[in-house]
Structure 1
Amino acid sequence: MERLFIPTTSSASRIIHRLTPLMGFHTSIPRKWQNFENERHFEPGEDVLKRVWHGLTYDFRRWKRRYMEARYDAFKRRNPIAHMKHAVLDNEVFPFATEVLIIGGGLTGSSTAYWIKQRFRDEDFKVTVVENNDKFAQSSTMLSCGGITQQFCVPEHIEMSMFTTEFLRHAGEHLRILDNDPPDIHFLPMGYMHLACTPEDADRLRENWKLQIGKGARVAVFTHDELVAKFPFINFDDVLLGTYGLENEGCIDAWQLLSAIREKNITLGVQYVKGEVEGFLFEHPHGMRELHGYEEDDVADEMKQAYRRIRGVYVRPQMTDASARPIRTHFVVNAAGPWAGKIAEMAGIGKGKGLLAVKLPIEPRKRMVFVVHAPEVPPIDMPALVDPTGVYCLQEEAGNTFICGKLPTKEEDEKIDHSNLEVDYDFFYDRIWPVLAKRVPTFKNIKIKNAWAGYEDVNTFDNSPVIGEHLLYTNMHIMCGFGNRGVQHALAAGRGFAERIFDGAYTSINMRKFDMRRLLKMEKLEETYA
């Protein structure tokens, strides 16, 4: 009697696996290197020789897998439709736990992930970046002018910009992936020029110049006559003093820099998750129930809230009808940029009592940028001009194309409609163009080529960034409020966080004065150049 063949689960899976390349939904076949290399588990005392050999060859297999992943485009590998796989990989699914969870995939969040992986590259130390595609397109990094300068009045800002300049000088080496071509961030060197029209501003500008050259910045100070002789095409009738950057200043393509860092992070094992943060997961230490039992009413609730700790983040994936799910983590980095204040409110910051009553004063502020063509302006001699009125102008590329804008005053900022990102061209013709045409007469003949608007994460308290752990939630690190300086200070801030978690302190640039203690003490750290 013939025995019928009834396929078991394992045999059926093998048959399906063999037919997988023939299915129409698959455009690529799975490769062996896409599986994890630590597939073998040895019990204590089992096969000692094989266990030793497995451990010795583990690094080689991991290196081989990383090399093969880097050879195939990192972004195409994560396309779930065009590159379907027969097995579920750890970096393809929504994570349940991670060591460091970074909220915000812009330059600040990606730089933080980059420096963490530079310090500790073991893939078991997982770093996850949560980003929202809708808000990511409106972030300050995507719409930034990419200006790099070292002319500040806060010493730490000068040191952070000098470090960023040195990093960008060797960005091709730092961000290069294996034997691929080094990324090009399109650095265009140009010196920033700041002007003073009153004796008080001239004294302040000279004192700041002394601070800048004391930190090692290459900045020159010019009197009225020296400015007229060096830049004859600029009107300096009302100017008493001016400073001009001689080295390590200019502008870059912020999007190219962010793309290079993100691609480098993916090859280092950083996981980018597209989702929306909806809340935080809190836990209480052991013994909290007994302690809570001795108190009543509001005192008990305040005590319970004060002793809780952040243990995870609720993230809703950006897909249809998806519900929020928790991602447990040891460290949370709030690098959400303009929306960092709302993220902090989800954790109860600014809504409680005691230390939780201190609000994170980060607000999204609309900023407009105009790209103009000025054929009569000398492109080689034209500096990155910053007028005392707040109007600025710098070259977008080598030629007669310039980026113009205005840093609004508090009164002007209150009149701007921050609820939308529509470009107000009347703002250019009424507030920017008259100042430019008066300062540089050749700007009278210009034509607007492009314009856009974006949000900046502005610290409404003192216009300086907030960097450091929260006063109560010590495992929540805040990194926001850079304003228009995010491109040049995000790299240094990310390195500072890596130093904090691995060394326990800032070992390169001391950024302690940027934490939330100054908000508690109401001590402002104002940056006059902003």
Structure 2
Amino acid sequence: MLRYRHAVRLLQHRSYSAGAAGGSGGTGDEDKHPIRRTFRLLGNDMRKIKEFFVPKDPVSEDQGESREHILTQSKFKFEGERKRDPTLPDEFQTHCDVLVIGGGGIGSSIAYWLKEKARDGLNVVVVEKDDTYAKAASRFSVGGLCQQFSLPENIQMSLFAADFLRNAREHFGNEVPLQFTPHGHLLLAGEEQAESLMRSSELQNELGARNELLTADRLAARFPWLNTKGIAVGCHGLEKEGWFNSLALLSNFRRSASGNGAHFISGEVVDFNFHSQTDISVVGDAGSDEGNYTGLDKAVIQLSDGTRSTCKFALCVIAAGASSGQVARLARIGEGPGMLQVPLPIDVRKRYLYAINTQAANAPGMAMPLTIDPSGTFIRRDGLGGNYICGHNLPEEAVSDNVTVDPQHFEKHIRPTLATRVPSLADAKLIDSCAGLYEQNVYDENGIVGPHPYYHNLYVATGFSGHGIQQSLAVGRAISELIMDGQFRTIDLSRLSFDRLIVDQPMYELNNVLS
């Protein structure tokens, strides 16, 4: 091999010398030899390829024309040599490749994964109407990470998140730590839910989770602070479960996506512009006449200063959380003919969170898992000093966009349950409270992920019903795969598509674990 390379260099040298001797046109007898001419052409091609991958540093005036410093890997160094300062306001983008409506956990994750894959090859715009996240679900999440679901897709998404968070520093660096606390979840069940909990636990362990089932006696022995009255069995997560700072995860999504060129716009989508496309027909839609397809073209965005502008997009993703149903109606979903008669079944729900403190000697210690009572009330430790966070997702009738905390709700609904299940917290002091909104899929309380069956350029990622932040990592990657690769690659989420609404095949999640 070395002799071959030496011969090549020798022939190339002779070719160049012959060309020089024979004039700029290279017409000497040496240059006419076919083998030498072939090597000369190959040499020129290889220099061009090298110049593309290893470009020259631009020469400044004071350096002279003779300087030829090589910047290695400058075209493929994706650590942000052209990174934009994420603290500066974005210029409004009148055109984009992908428009993501909603900049919460799901929407920002989609932008993160798209820019991880495409970088400068894809213009991604994220529109968020409240960039302070004053009412967003991500702000009022307990940050739970848990695999104790009943559907394989939800279990796999949570396992994906656990693997990602384990290596979070490699993805995000150390600037905004996620503060993951690996103390697991403890899901309690009475007699009616016991069989379902046990079946779900078997499936979870088959898919790679690790948890254990504990009878009431074993629960009492393992967790002396727990009153097991009315409890038949509990499922305790042993690995890959716990909780994290949900706002830190959201911040890392935005920071990384913005640093790689994604545009975050403070504004609200208030309408869409449509256009007819005679070259598209929708198969299987009785309400669609061939040659009369009307597609989405532009989004009308009301900016924070009250002005309105349009953004033309190639693809659009509805990931607006509790506002997703409203955005879908702007796109005539639920209000049009044929497939467009089926609405996006998203309603608004309210969640209260409370911070309490106790100095009782027998209160749960630092190793306390995030505990979920059969009633839906949950509680976990919050650092040192006897602090805890607890709450309860409000029932269906409590649909409201008002985030005012009802001062009587804790005393009426939370404290009695805590006093029964964890007696040492009966007299805990309420030190703070807040309320936020999250989306509820009123069809089957499960996420809706994938393309819309009518619009060829619209995707949906919403409806996670209180467990969206822990699934945001997997969902963002899944949508990016659909956009970039045309199919799911990491986790097959086909059963969670919008199509199930049309054919009326709900995907019920029996263990709606909050996050």
- Structures share a fold, TM > 0.5? yes
Q: Aligned to 1:218, which of 210, 213, 217?
A: 210
- Computed over aligned residues only, the root mean square deviation of the Cα atoms, in angstroms, reads 2.7
Q: What's the counterpart of residue 106 of structure 1?
A: 104
The Cα of 1:311 is off from its aligned counterpart by 2.1
> Structure 1 unaligned runs (5+)?
1-48, 80-91, 292-299
Query: Where do 1:22-41 residues align within 5 Å?
Result: none
Alignment partner for residue 405 of structure 1, among 385, 391, 396? 391
What residue in structure 2 maps to residue 120 of structure 1?
A: 118
Other-structure match for 1:229: 221
Residues 479-516 of structure 1: CA deviation (Å, up to 9, x unaligned): 00112211110110110111112222111111011111
- Per the alignment, residue 337 of structure 1 pairs with 321
- Pairing partner for 2:380 from 386, 394, 402: 394
How big is the shift at 1:237?
A: 2.7
**In structure 1, how many angstroms separate the alpha carbons of the residues matched to 2:149 and 2:383?**
25
One-letter identity of the residue aligned with 2:405: V
Counterpart in 1 of 2:158?
Answer: 161
Q: Which amino acid aligns with 1:364?
A: V
Q: Give the Cα separation in 1 of the matches to 2:213 and 2:48.
A: 70
Q: Which amino acid aligns with 2:396?
A: D
Alpha-carbon distance in structure 2 between the residues aligned to 1:352 and 1:428: 43
Q: 1:445 offset after TM fit, Å?
A: 2.1
In structure 2, relative to structure 1, the CA distance for the partners of 1:336 and 1:303 (3 Å cut) is same
Number of equivalenced pairs = 446
Q: Which residue of 1 aligns with 2:5?
A: none
Asked if 1 retains the 8 angstrom alpha-carbon contact of 2:131 and 2:266, the reply is no
Provide the C-alpha distance between the structure 1 equivalents of 2:270 and 2:292, rounded to a whole number of angstroms.
Answer: 21
Determine if the alignment matches structure 1 residue 371 to structure 2 residue 355. yes
* Equivalence for 2:470: 488
Instruction: Output the amino acid matched with 2:221.
Output: A
Summarize the Cα distance change of 1:134–1:124 in structure 2 as closer, same or farther, 3 Å threshold: closer
Task: Give the distance between the partners of 1:174 and 1:443, measured in 2 at CA.
Answer: 39
> 1:203-352 alignment to 2 at 5 Å?
203-286=195-278, 303=289, 307-320=293-306, 322=307, 324-352=308-336
Match of 1:32 in 2: none
Query: Which residue identity is paired with 2:382?
Result: E
> For residue 208 of structure 2, what is the amino acid of its counterpart?
G
Q: TM-score, normalised by structure 1?
A: 0.79
The verdict on how the C-alpha distance between 1:446 and 1:62 changes in structure 2, with shifts beyond 3 A counting, is same
2:189 aligns with one of 180, 185, 196: 196
Structure 1 partner of 2:480: 498
1:432 maps onto 2:414 in alignment: yes
Write the letter of the residue equivalent to 1:523.
Answer: Q
State the shift of 1:238 in Å: 2.1
Aligned partner of 2:341 among 349, 352, 357: 357
Residues 1:329 and 1:57: Cα distance change in structure 2 (over 3 Å): farther
> TM-score w.r.t. structure 2 length?
0.81
Matched, 1:384 2:384: no
- Unaligned residue ranges in structure 2 (runs of 5+): 1-46, 58-70
- Counterpart residue number, 1:147: 144
Q: What letter is aligned with 1:360?
A: L
More helix by share: 1
1:350: how far off? 0.1
- Aligned position for 1:75: 86
Per-residue deviation, 1:234: 1.0
Distance 1:167 1:51, change over 3 A: closer
Counterpart Cα distance in 1 of 2:322 and 2:491: 24
Letter in structure 2 aligned against 1:163: F
2:61 maps to what in 1? none
Q: In structure 2, what residue type is equivalent to 1:528? A: L
Which contiguous aligned blocks of 4+ residues in structure 1 show a shift greater than 6 angstroms? 49-55, 58-66
Identity of aligned residues (%): 33
User: Aligned letter for 2:255?
Assistant: E
- The one-letter code sitting in structure 2 at the alignment partner of 1:270 is A
1:129 to 126, 129, 136: 126
Secondary structure of 1:284's counterpart equals strand
Rounded to whole Å, the distance in 1 between the matches of 2:259 and 2:115 is 10
Residue 22 of structure 2 aligns with which residue? none
CA contact (8 A) 1:172 1:183 kept: no
